[in-house]
Chain A
Amino acid sequence: MTSAATEPVAGVPVSRRRAAWLPAALLFAGLTALTPVQAEIAIGEVDPAASDEERIAYGEYVLRAGGCVTCHTAKDGEFLAGGRAIESPFGVFYGPNITPHPEYGIGDWSEADFRRALQEGRSPDGHHYYPAFPYTAYTRMRDEDIEALWAYLQSKVEPVAEENRSHELDWFARFRPALIGWKWLHFQPGRFEPDPDQSEQWNRGAYLTLALGHCMECHSPRTRTGGLELGRLGAGSRLPDGDVAPNITPDRDTGIGRWGERHIARYLEMGITRDGDFAGGSMADVIDHGTSHLTSEDRRAIAVYLRALDPIEYEPE
């Protein structure tokens, strides 16, 4: 990753507090328009004894479940070659090229580099990524899912010689080392821990929602320093593109308490709400590029998990 945004701004003092605070709100990553959907896949979890072919197919499934396509494919651009604009209050991020091109993409990375990017938010040369890349959620990903995803990206994705576009950030947000402060405040690395008291379906749903689907990144209010409000996960938030990601806890008045599992599953498949209305904005992308490609069992599992959340009465302004 060689973007101009990695350069600190000469002569600008960044105090520790400011360092922590400023890049923080960069996380408010609003997502934008549509790109064409490609492959269709439908498989559940990877079997440890799976063949390479099966593992690679599962890797493509992980890509869909992770919603990677939306941010890493520009409108009308080459698949995963980057260039998609992601709005934030501090400027515009551009998703980088993650095709296996050795120079412009991540073709010369090792699997360990890739895992570190997703689980620790660090690049092969050690710099910190902005949380506009939701590694805050991907840190929960299982190693075997990352392996499968890596195998797929390296073997099935067309390498594209497309140079990364530099982020266009306000000067104070360009200072990457300041991200250490933000991460110190808000980033809790670590794999997903299944809850043995819950059903397998609930655990699968929790994993898909919290680790891969990064649903809470958009659907939760944030603290002043741009971290998720952990006590109000899923209670909704206003995104930087102006849209509201509504409360998706089962509160009957402010959330989706009146939605059954089938309503949620159907919504994640084709965008139809309980009232027969249709999803718009960035959720339409999440559905088109991500959840509509999942198996119905996985969409059900997400629904089961959301229905089981504690209802929170909250309406984002």
Chain B
Amino acid sequence: MKRSARLFTAASVAAALTLGLAATSSVQAFDEHEATIDYRQGVMRAIGGNMGSVAAIVIDGADFGDNLKIHTQQLVDLTRDIPSLFPEGSDFPDTDAREEIWDNWDRYVELANDSRDAAEALHAAVESGDESEYPIRFRNLGQSCQACHDDFRRD
């Protein structure tokens, strides 16, 4: 994947040199996708970081219960619109997103909504201090992440 991306860039640059402006715009489109992909992978890692912190508190009893709300609020904010992170065609160059995403867009949106709803449910339990609900709601959220990764992410 990396190598073909580099080749593609080299070819685009060569084309830009010989053909002028027409080709530069394709270089720009390419860079834009790269930035989109960097951005969404960053968001996903941030979601993962918050999940890791919540697990340390909820499952293993780390003494940061007061911060729980910060993490679940971020999970709600960051899962609010996952589909917008995946504009059509952003399955290239260096990404684990499968092209099936755009062939099964409705299903993809459904799975994204499941994660959003599960994040909201977890956050609601934390807001109301209902500790007995934390583990199960955390687990539900995790399963929603897994369901999407299973079908739409390359391993």
Contacts and interface: CB of A to CB of B under 8 A. Distances in A.
Contacts of A274: 52
Contact of A277 (B48, B138, B143, B150): B48
B155 A281 contact: yes
Contacts of B50: 276
Residue with the highest number of chain B CB atoms closer than 10 Å, among A242, A243, A276: A276
Residue with the highest number of chain A CB atoms closer than 10 Å, among B45, B50, B149, B153: B149
B106 to A, nearest CB: 20
B150 A276 contact: no
Given A276-B52, A278-B149, A270 B155 contact: no
B107 interface: no
B40 to A, nearest CB: 14
Interface residues of B, number: 21
A276 B155 contact: no
A275 interface: yes
Interface string A247-280: 0000000000000001000100011101111111
Contacts of B68: none
A284 interface: yes
Interface in B53-94: 53, 55, 59-60
Contacts of B155: 242-244, 280-281
A280 B146 contact: yes
A17 B114 CA distance: 53
Interface string B28-53: 00000000000000000101111111
Nearest to B154: A242
B42 to A, nearest CB: 13
B54 to A, nearest CB: 8
Contacts of B150: 280-281, 284
Contact of A284 (B138, B146, B153): B146
Given A244-B155, A266-B60, A278 B52 contact: no
Nearest to B46: A276
Contacts of A281: 150, 155
Nearest to B60: A262
Given A270-B142, A271-B142, A278-B146, 8 more contacts: A266-B55, A266-B59, A272-B52, A272-B55, A275-B49, A277-B48, A278-B143, A278-B145
Q: 10 smallest A-B Cβ distances: which pairs?
A: A276-B48, A276-B52, A276-B51, A278-B146, A278-B145, A280-B149, A280-B150, A243-B155, A277-B48, A275-B48
Interface of B: 45, 47-53, 55, 59-60, 138-139, 142-143, 145-146, 149-150, 153, 155
Interface of A: 242-244, 262, 266, 270-272, 274-281, 284
17 contacts: A242-B155, A266-B55, A266-B59, A270-B138, A270-B139, A275-B49, A276-B47, A276-B51, A276-B52, A276-B53, A277-B145, A278-B143, A278-B149, A280-B149, A280-B153, A284-B146, A284-B150
